Amino acid sequence: MSGPGEKPPIDRLETGIPNLDAILQGGLPKGMTAVIAGPPGSGKTILTQQVCFHHATQGGRVLYFNTLSEPTAKTLLYLRPFSFFDPKLLEERIRFIDLGLMLRTKGLELTANLLMEQLKQFKPSMVVIDSYKVFDDLSQSAEELRKFTYELIVRLMAWECTTFLLGEYSTDHFEHPAFSAIDGIITVTQSSLSGEQQRLLQIIKMRGTGHSRDKHPFIITQAGIEVYAPSLTLRRKRRTGQSPVEASRLRTGVSRFDELLGEGIPPGSSIIVSGVSGSGKTVLGLEFIYRGARDHGEKGIFFSFEETEERLCSTARGLGWELEREIERGLVRIVFIPQPDILVDRHILEMQRHVESFGARRVVLDSMSVFLHKIDDKRLVRDKAFWLANIVQNQEAVGLFTNDVPAGTAQYTRFGVEETVMDGLVLLSWEQEGLERRRYIEVNKLRNTAHARGRHAMSIAHGGVRIFPRLDESLAREPRIPLAPRRGRLSSGVPQLDALVGGGLLDGSVTLVSGSPGTGKSTLGLQFALEAARTSERALYITLEEGPTQLLQGAEEMGLPLREALEAGTVEILYLPREQLHAARFLNAVEERVSSLAPSRLVLDSVSDIELQGRVSEELRWLFYGLVIRLRGLGVTSLFTLEARSLFLADTLSEHGLSPLADNILMCRYAQENGLLVPVLTVVKTRGSIHDRGSHCLLLGAGGLRLGSRFGGAPPPSSEAKKEVKKRRGPAPGQKRRK
């Protein structure tokens, strides 16, 4: 009922055609007379017959008059394949009458009288004349046709009939003498839209309703006609209550991707994932769906236009994912639409139905550039992208829309307008570096989120996508961690060296050993790691140049029990060949191993091997800084070796600029004595300790590295100092401490 002062609404009739009622803003005005115009084969008759059968199923009565265009028998023959056709409705609810003979023999006036007699007998609520253009051909003048049409419409109005007059009228201009007396004009045509040959429906005129004036694509299937009107049916819904910013955010589950995205993705967000061919867009989207199902129990739907479900499942198996299991569990659905079959407006509405019926929390479209590839008009591209985003927002899901960009261009998206209507933009790229292709990822835009900026390393291997956040960006998120509280001193593995630094290395400290080639840096690192066996702790030895086999051979030649420590699990070797690593990837690998092993000691041999292309890089300094911060926070005592480019004591410590970050700095260089090169060690720096500043000869042999006399003839450390070191170290393994 209408409220006080409000005009009562016009009664409406449902058409039974999907989305047509939305275009008419509620359906057909009851009792109106409308012309349905269009060329032969455009769909006029099927459109009207579908409306008639739907009206009959709702309790209405329909009179369908055929004129000279097609006999009734033929009409019924072509109706039978359609699912809306119900023969049980014939005669009782729908009656087909052929006016052809009467028109040919008796003329307009007698035909009109026959038509009215049928109205009195059947008492219909809907009338169709197909085709009304026959009356144009049989009338003697425009004035006669206008008079006939007017009298017919008046009589039909008296019976409160909703009437359709079908005809092959021109859709370019409507100058028919009778059109001024009718209430509505609906046109059906065939033409190109969005780069596709499509059937189009348009409401030119409809009294009593604020209808859409756009051209809307439609198709004819066995089910009848379906009209597509995304601009009306995909309107963005208004949400009440909690805002998207406040609602629970979605975590992708993809390795380190969530770190780049900050606090997560707001529900209802649509994100474009752009990149050239081979940059990893499909794999990222597939993993987004898979991780959501496996790790979070969230339903995900993957729309593909190039890869079938079988091929996508095969890709998943190659990456070690059990995607078929998630499909069987009902958490993942893959919808394959072959590229040649794409009808943009039709499939947008099909995607909406899939997303809503499935209850998807995650949506991937692979790819949007393929889906919209037939459209040349950027305004239309923007509209379609907006409707796709509305599907995701109305479902409060998160959507990833992959987008191919041409190689060698600075474009972010294929068409240059998609990113303006989406909430986020993620860029994937790759570069050829030497013999290897390096992948990168960048979060260019994500609304309502403090995301990481800049480009970050990425790889695709067994297990899926791996992301290595850039060091300066990841460190900016973490508070600076001070040096761990001192819990005492640890032996370096060389008693004479412990004496030089005040009894050992402070627990949780970082020691930098800058050494010339052949001075014993790696041996010192091994002895430092093997000291973990004395207290049943663990040590992690990271090598970037020598593999485990080489290290074992070298240790055995010097009598160091490395093999026993490896078998006992007190020492673990992590071999990371430098040619396979970026600095960010290196830090990520180390962090994972430190987290799982929880060592008390760590050796990195050597920092220099992380340099790229033989140059000292700023990224190396960030790497060293990041590693120091993390190890200090974990209370790990660490020793880093560094290859010096100088041989002699007179040269600088190093060119790397890393010394300010170390707590202890040991310099191993060569000195000349009697025409020989003598390796010597100098303690350059120890925080929190008074240290011996002299240079001492280095001796390598059975048992490893040890210190000899002070260079230049001075005595080695005193026996009292050695006793103090021994006291701090405690008993050797297998010995009991004396009371």
User: What would the pLDDT profile of 229-267 be if each residue is shown by its tens digit?
Assistant: 777 776 666 655 544 444 588 899 888 888 888 888 889
Of how many residues is the chain composed? 739
Average pLDDT over residues 149-157: 77
**Number of C-alpha atoms within 13 angstroms, CB side, residue 427?**
20
The whole-number pLDDT of residue 720 equals: 47
> Quick one: pLDDT band at residue 435, thresholds 50, 70, 90?
low
Shared-domain flag, residues 286 and 215: no
Owning domain of residue 683:
489-729
482 within some domain: no
**3 in a structural domain:** no
Q: What is the CATH number of the domain that holds 106?
A: 3.40.50.300
269 and 363 in one domain?
Answer: yes
Phi, psi for residue 506 in degrees, rounded to 5 = -60, 140
Is there a domain that residue 583 lies in? yes
**Domain co-membership, 125 together with 167:** yes
Look at residue 573 and give its three-state secondary structure: strand
What's the average model confidence in pLDDT over 669-681? Answer: 83
CA distances from 612 to 221, 584, 669 (A): 62, 12, 25
Query: Is 311 found in the same domain as 281?
Result: yes
Coil, helix or strand for 485? coil
Number of domain units in the chain:
3
User: Residue 529 domain-assigned?
Assistant: yes
Name the one residue in this structure whose structure tokens are 């987290």.
595
Same domain for 261 and 227, yes or no, is no
Q: Are residues 449 and 597 in the same domain?
A: no
* Residue 734 maps to a domain: no
Q: Which of 469, 498, 522 is the last residue of a domain?
A: 469
Residue 246 lies in a domain: no
Helix (H, G, I), strand (E, B) or coil at 104: helix
pLDDT digit string, tens, across residues 18-45: 888 888 888 888 888 888 988 888 888 9
Amino acid residing at 363: V
Domain boundary among 406, 436, 469: 469
Q: Among 67-76, 303-312, 326-335, 353-362, name the one with the lowest average pLDDT.
A: 67-76
pLDDT at residue 318, rounded to an integer: 92
| 475 domain-assigned | no
123-137, 229-243, 304-318, 591-605 — which is least confidently predicted?
Answer: 229-243
Average pLDDT, rounded, for the chain: 80
Residue 432's DSSP bridge partners are 437
Per-residue pLDDT, averaged over 55-82, amounts to 84
Asked if the peptide bond before residue 367 counts as cis, ω within 30 degrees of 0, the response is yes
pLDDT at 723 over 60: no
Q: Name 541's bridge partners.
A: 573, 603
According to the model, what pLDDT value does residue 168 have? 84
Looking at the structure, tell me whether residues 464 and 494 fall in a common domain.
Answer: no
Mean pLDDT of 546-559: 88
Check residue 285 and give its pLDDT.
Answer: 93
Q: CB count, 10 Å around CB of 710?
A: 16
| 721: CB partners within 8 A, 6+ apart | 499
Q: Which residues contact 401 (CB under 8 A, 6 or more apart)?
A: 270, 271, 272, 273, 364, 365, 367, 368, 385, 388, 418, 422
| Domain identity same for 43 and 148 | yes
- Dump pLDDT digits (tens) for 458-470: 888 888 888 887 6
**Token pair 């009356």: residue:** 135
Residues 109, 157, single domain; the answer is: yes
Least Cα distance to 334 among 356, 358, 318 occurs for 358
Under DSSP, is residue 175 helix (H, G, I), strand (E, B) or coil? coil
Same structural domain, 29 and 162: yes
Residue 624 has pLDDT above 80, yes or no: no
> Which candidate, 311, 298, 422, places its Cα nearest to that of 358?
298
pLDDT at 3: 52
Percent of the chain exceeding pLDDT 90 equals 21
For the stretch 514-541, pLDDT in tens is: 888 888 888 999 999 999 887 788 999 9
The verdict on residue 316 lying in a domain is yes
Q: Domain boundary at 436, 469, 502, which?
A: 469
pLDDT at 644: 77
Q: How confident is the model at residue 658, as a pLDDT?
A: 65
Residue 685's pLDDT is what?
86
Q: Verify that 166 and 291 share a domain, yes or no.
A: no
Asked if 442 and 494 sit in the same domain, the reply is no
What b/e sequence results for 31-43 when a residue is b if at least 16 CB atoms lie within 10 Å of its CB, and e otherwise? bbbbbbbbeeebb
The pLDDT value given to residue 613: 41
Whole-prediction pTM value? 0.67
